[in-house]
Each structure stands twice: as C-alpha cells, then as structure tokens.
Amino acid sequence: MGKVLVTGADGFIGSHVVEQLLAKRHDVRAFVQYNSFGTWGWLDSLSPDQKAAIEVITGDVRDPHSVREAMRGCTAVIHLAALIAIPYSYQAPQSYVDTNVHGTLNVLQAARDLDVDRVVHTSTSEVYGTAQYVPIDERHPLVGQSPYSASKIGADQMAVAFHASFATPVVTIRPFNTYGPRQSARAVIPTVIMQVAAGNRHVRLGSLAPTRDFSFVADTARGLICGIEAPAAAVIGQTINLGSNFEISIGDSVAMIGEVMGVDIVIEQDEQRLRPAGSEVERLWSDNTLAREQLGWTPDYAGLDGLRRGLGETAAWFSNPAHLRNYKADRYVV
C-alpha cells in the first residue's frame, strides 16, 4: 500500500492510529490542525524515531485546498478530523456543521478528484441515539439527539452519497464509546480517573443510568486500519460497527474504576454535566457481527475482563503526573 493520510492525526484516536500504522510499517502522512505554536497535538508525545518516520502537514479540514494538498500522492485516507464534544455542540452547533459535514465533504471531494483507492470515514455510535433495539446493528435508524450527532449523521450520509453517486471507494467505520490514554477530559472515564488521580474521592458526574459499549482505543485504532487493509469487495460501500458487544451502565463503570484504582468513590451529581433531557442517549450496545465478518476484527479488550484491563491501563496513564499536567482536573471543560 502507498502513503496513508490520517486526518485528525493530532487527536486522541488519530495519534493511536498513527502509532499502529507505523508499527505495521505503513508510510504515513499526518494531517494536523494548524496552530501558531507549531504543536502537533498528541503526536508531540511520540518517540523521536516515530516523529521522524511520519510526514506532518498542518492545515484545516474546513479548507478544501488544504485538504486536497494534504491528500495529494496518497492512496488511502483514514478520516478522523472532527469536533466531537457533545456539550460544546449545544453552544456552537454551526462549527460542528462546518467541521464535520463540510470537512467530510472536502475529504470526499478530494479523494474523488485524486482517485484515492480507499477512504475510511469515521462515524460514531451517537448517530443511533437511544437504542430502539439491542444489540444495535448497522440497520438501526439514525436519530440526531444532539447537534454533534446530527452533524455526524450528515457526514455519514455524505459518504454514502459519494459512494452511490460517484463510486468513491468509501467504507464507514462506526466506533462505539472509545476510551483510553490521551482521551479528552470531557468523556466520562477520563473525568473520573483524573478526579481520583488528583486526590479527590468525591467525584462530580452527570447521569449514571445510561449504558455504554466501551471500546479500548487500541481496538478502535486497529479496526480503523482494518478498513484500509481489508479486501475492497468486503468493505467498500459498507457501514460497519466497532464495539465490544458488551453493555455496562455509567454507574457500574465508575464502580469498576474505583476497584481498579483501589479507592472508594463517592458520586456527586453535577447539574452542568447533565445533557438536556431529550438529548441524553440512554442505551448503546453494539452488534459487531459485520466487523468480525467483513474486517476480520474482534476486540482484544472485550467483556468485563477486557474493560477492567483497559481501565487499568488508562488509569495508569492518567495517574502519571507528566500526563495529568496536560489536563485541568479541577474544573469541567466542555
């Protein structure tokens, strides 16, 4: 395979994807968001040898020229660049349309014009809304319960449309709730771990009743890479869930974090962490049959034992003072 472009390579999942691509000896070009500090997000944490092995292009997925120049000479794209914070989508919904819908359009149009062999478009389980049946397969209706999920539905449908209209070689990979080292503090698992690692035993959270299907970031990154490596006939034009096929409530997840970190956690409800009543996704549980059959992918961190092992690795990473300094554990950051 030729050069692989990773958009959003500076982010949580993107940086793990880059690491795994390098480990598999892929030729990697990382597209990171321009900033005046010249930083590469989480790619700055890679080893000197890893950083030397990647080509880094700065730009903005909202700019079609920027995207096209970053993609030129690449044969495959893993598209991860997106705004993903659900709370912030209530405050700035237009920015989610600009980045997630228009940004995906720019990626697809460039891939079409440059005859790229494969585009892996990254979706999210949030597009399903609260489960109407479980486990959720790819035929489940799409329901936008937040501006974020609505923008991702728009992006997903743009990918479907480009495949149907122009035979653009797109596969949509739909991860369920990914967690692990380098994740944003907005997500429930790191916000609990960080508060405990900072010495707090009274942890501030939103709703505890919703259930989630948690996937460790190493599994998610591997599944996305399978999207460019699997036979074209098996995946092109498909939408494929990536999930552990395991459901657990937020409350029970917090209890497991306490077990892993050896502390008794007292939960205090924080009103600002609650979603609007109609926007909360109450239940997510993935059917990963297609991932197993079409991608040849199964999660290494599956079930209760896998979740416990992944939480242990995540807690160990966040508990490192050098890593914890990158976060504001004492405040809620949307």
Asked if the structure places residue 189 within a domain, the reply is no
CATH number at residue 165: 3.40.50.720
pLDDT top residue among 38 and 334: 38
The pLDDT value recorded for residue 272 is 77
Asked if the structure places residue 278 within a domain, the reply is no
The pTM is what? 0.97
Q: Sign of dihedral through CA atoms 185, 227, 80, 242?
A: negative
Residue 185's pLDDT band (boundaries 50, 70, 90)?
confident
Q: Which residues contact 74 (CB under 8 A, 6 or more apart)?
A: 2, 3, 4, 5, 29, 114, 116
What's the gap between Cα 220 and its chain centre?
Answer: 8
**Measured between alpha carbons, how far is 216 from 179 in angstroms, rounded to an integer?**
5
The pLDDT value recorded for residue 69 is 98
Asked if the structure places residue 41 within a domain, the reply is yes
Residue 68's pLDDT band (boundaries 50, 70, 90)?
very high
The pLDDT value recorded for residue 204 is 85
Question: Of 64-68, 86-90, 203-207, 329-333, which range is least confident?
Answer: 329-333
273 burial type by CB count under 10 A (0-12 exposed, 13-18 middle, 19+ buried): middle
- pLDDT at 63 exceeding the cut of 80: yes
The pLDDT value recorded for residue 273 is 79
Which structural domain range is residue 140 located in? 4-184+215-246+283-301
pLDDT digit string (tens) for 130-163? 999 999 999 999 999 999 999 999 999 999 999 9
pLDDT digit string (tens) for 169-178? 999 999 999 9
pLDDT digit string (tens) for 270-322? 887 788 889 999 999 999 999 999 999 999 999 999 999 999 999 999 999 99
Number of domains comprising the chain: 1
- pLDDT at 22 exceeding the cut of 90: yes
The CA dihedral of 298, 301, 305, 311, to the nearest 10 degrees, is -160
Asked if the structure places residue 225 within a domain, the reply is yes
- pLDDT at 211 exceeding the cut of 80: yes
Nearest to 236 by CA among 138, 158, 163, 298: 163
The pLDDT value recorded for residue 27 is 98
The pLDDT value recorded for residue 275 is 86
- pLDDT at 333 exceeding the cut of 90: no
Asked if the structure places residue 126 within a domain, the reply is yes
pLDDT digit string (tens) for 222-274? 999 999 999 999 999 999 999 999 999 999 999 999 999 999 999 888 887 78
Mean pLDDT of 322-326: 90
The pLDDT value recorded for residue 286 is 98
Asked if the structure places residue 323 within a domain, the reply is no
The pLDDT value recorded for residue 271 is 80
Asked if the structure places residue 205 within a domain, the reply is no
Asked if the structure places residue 276 within a domain, the reply is no
- pLDDT at 85 exceeding the cut of 80: yes
The pLDDT value recorded for residue 153 is 98
The pLDDT value recorded for residue 203 is 87
